A and B are shown apart, each in its own frame.
Chain A
């Protein structure tokens, strides 16, 4: 078979040029909502740049040096990228490589001893603590809460600029029990709004995710009777549409009239999507924001024992201005028995993350800084790592 012809190369090159430029053009034309939204997989290269000069003075590099490997939650990837950039700019002899591969896979790699720490959206399970004892000689894995993330409810209803829901209507919408936008339950919460008679298309995540886990935890806590599922990282309700990853949920909601979905606040902001206000029982409906999420985290209790600082959020909080649908992602390290080679570098990087300076940078990216009281506890715990 004569597959190749001699003048093939030139024609192929020309064609490649034509097609690739066409692709680039179309990408520019239709893709800005998702490319700018800091999707977890692309963010490694695109993150950073929002604060050019790190406040190098506040970074204590310690005696550590070398290469820190870490992996896990994609929810904290953007925060981590920013922190890694600022920290390594100040501490030249430490390299940090954080891969957003998902919390489950991150914990997996940590308990196999492949990484110095893991990022995770949910606290360690008892069996994970048991297996962590193999790599933490004389100790065990602990959770250090580090990044708060408000989960926004984004919607696309033409003609409706302000939408207020409560836990019960949200649960019914996502469980396909309320199927029209002009349902009396929604109308009651939105007096005066022109609600259309169109069908509601609720979007959830098709992949397993800490975002789904925290959103459904909220529904279970605040609307038990309307959400008859056990929760978890996989979506359990029937009906509705699904999309892979928060970036896809946000972009599908943006292009589908009559839709509603949940995604981290940064996706709502970058996609310029309107967000739902929640009637939590506070004096006024709460709008999602970094500050509102921090207020809700301040209401959380530490439920971990020993050095473990796993938090239990109060999803039914009625505090004014507290946004209850919030996720707190943690770093997982050994309380004792961290690898000697990376201990110093790990401690100084974790210390930087928990510092007021680093936490303050989170707001710009749509994350919620830890409240001072919890950040203080985290710093104390980091100081005692060995």
Chain B
């Protein structure tokens, strides 16, 4: 901030009677009811958030422990989810794999595209194009996930067949793009990833756009003055300044991708098969599994689903923690601390 001079100058001017300055300063915190109310309100909100988080964690753990203690399979490595039989056998291996893989692919697609859109809106597009485009992206974020799910199941799936066959033919050697039964309906983790990418693009775009707008004009103009091209300006001044903002934006998007329920449940052909063949209709995610089993679950089945929810909760905490660490470490290099 280059406003340090003005920021330190004002103190002498505001209090009107200079004689009672000391008294006024001492009384002010006592007199202002609004200040105390606001302090109590904001502090209370912070504490409330902690209480809610603790309550969720406590509830999940309590119910999960009950279920896991009766599990006759290894909770972490079992593939199938069978809580209705005696003895119950269920595990999260397929779900954890599906959740993480689909989110990673979705991020790989969505982050570059979102940064591209955000840069286009803030640095390339004409104002007349930029603002409608920005609002359109905003609106994408407001589409309910069940609508994305219906669109995915009824439009995207049939139209993915061609791409799947092409990938199978030319990239089948990579193993992950090999289809076991070429031509099977494209209700796979790969299709789900594409759908998730579309769903998280608006979130990442919006936050990145705001961050790009915060880049000090002086930085950009200095780079231009040194003879940098527009791309070099973005590479040397915009992206480094916005790096931590982009990471936070991506984490917001990742959070939605990890927890997405209805869209995945509508599109994915779930099964208890763990396979790296991403184009095969199989797999599952935590949230999808809960949606699929909740309606008909017994008390015990519900506890088992809650155990799955707990794992998702923990994964989300770990991911967010890791993101915080990255941001904290990157801060010193980025322009944000200047």
Contacts and interface: CB of A to CB of B under 8 A. Distances in A.
A38 interface: no
Contact of B150 (A16, A31, A256): A31
A34 interface: yes
A58 interface: no
Contact of B154 (A31, A103, A105, A236): A31
Contacts of A346: none
A233 B184 contact: no
A183 interface: no
A3 B269 CA distance: 40
A15 B139 CA distance: 8
Interface stretch (B14-22, B39-47, B292-300): B292-300
Nearest to B134: A11
B325 interface: no
A104 B153 contact: no
Contacts of A8: 135
B215 interface: no
A248 interface: yes
A242 B271 contact: yes
Given A1-B210, A16-B139, A252-B185, A208 B154 contact: no
Contacts of B220: none
B113 interface: no
A193 interface: no
B214 interface: yes
A105 B295 contact: yes
A241 B187 contact: yes
Contacts of A232: 84-85
A102 B296 contact: yes
Interface residues of B, number: 45
A350 B132 CA distance: 57
A208 B292 contact: yes
Contacts of A214: none
A104 B135 contact: no
Interface in B63-86: 81-82, 84-85
Interface string B246-269: 000000000000000000011011
B210 A3 contact: yes
B269 A251 contact: no
A210 B84 CA distance: 13
B147 interface: yes
B91 interface: no
A160 interface: no
A242 B269 contact: yes
A198 B183 CA distance: 9
Given A12-B135, A207-B295, A252 B214 contact: no
Interface residues of A, number: 48
Contacts of A207: 265, 291-293, 295-296
Nearest to B264: A244
Contacts of B85: 230, 232
A303 interface: no
Contact of A241 (B81, B269, B272): B269
Contacts of B158: 255-256
A216 interface: no
Interface in B139-196: 139, 143, 147, 150-151, 153-155, 157-158, 181, 183-185, 187
Given A206-B292, A242-B270, A248-B153, A104 B147 contact: no
Interface in A175-223: 198-199, 201, 206-210
A356 B153 CA distance: 40
Contacts of A31: 150, 154
Nearest to A252: B185
A15 B132 contact: yes
Nearest to A121: B296
A102 B187 contact: no
A243 interface: yes
B185 A256 contact: yes
A19 interface: yes
A247 to B, nearest CB: 10
B309 interface: no
B291 A244 contact: yes
A238 interface: yes
A233 B296 contact: yes
Interface string B271-310: 1110000000100000000011111111101000000000
A349 B272 CA distance: 43
A250 to B, nearest CB: 12
Contacts of A238: 271-273
Contacts of B269: 206, 241-243
Given A11-B132, A23-B147, A105-B295, A206 B84 contact: no
A101 interface: yes
Interface in A238-285: 238-244, 248, 251-252, 255-256, 258-259
Contacts of A300: none
A108 to B, nearest CB: 7
Given A1-B214, A104-B298, A242-B271, A15 B135 contact: yes
A51 interface: no
B154 A199 contact: no
Interface of A: 1, 3, 8, 11-12, 15-16, 19, 23, 26-27, 30-31, 34, 74, 101-105, 108, 198-199, 201, 206-210, 230, 232-234, 236, 238-244, 248, 251-252, 255-256, 258-259
16 contacts: A8-B135, A12-B139, A74-B295, A101-B295, A104-B297, A105-B297, A208-B292, A208-B295, A232-B84, A233-B296, A234-B81, A238-B271, A241-B269, A242-B269, A243-B153, A248-B153
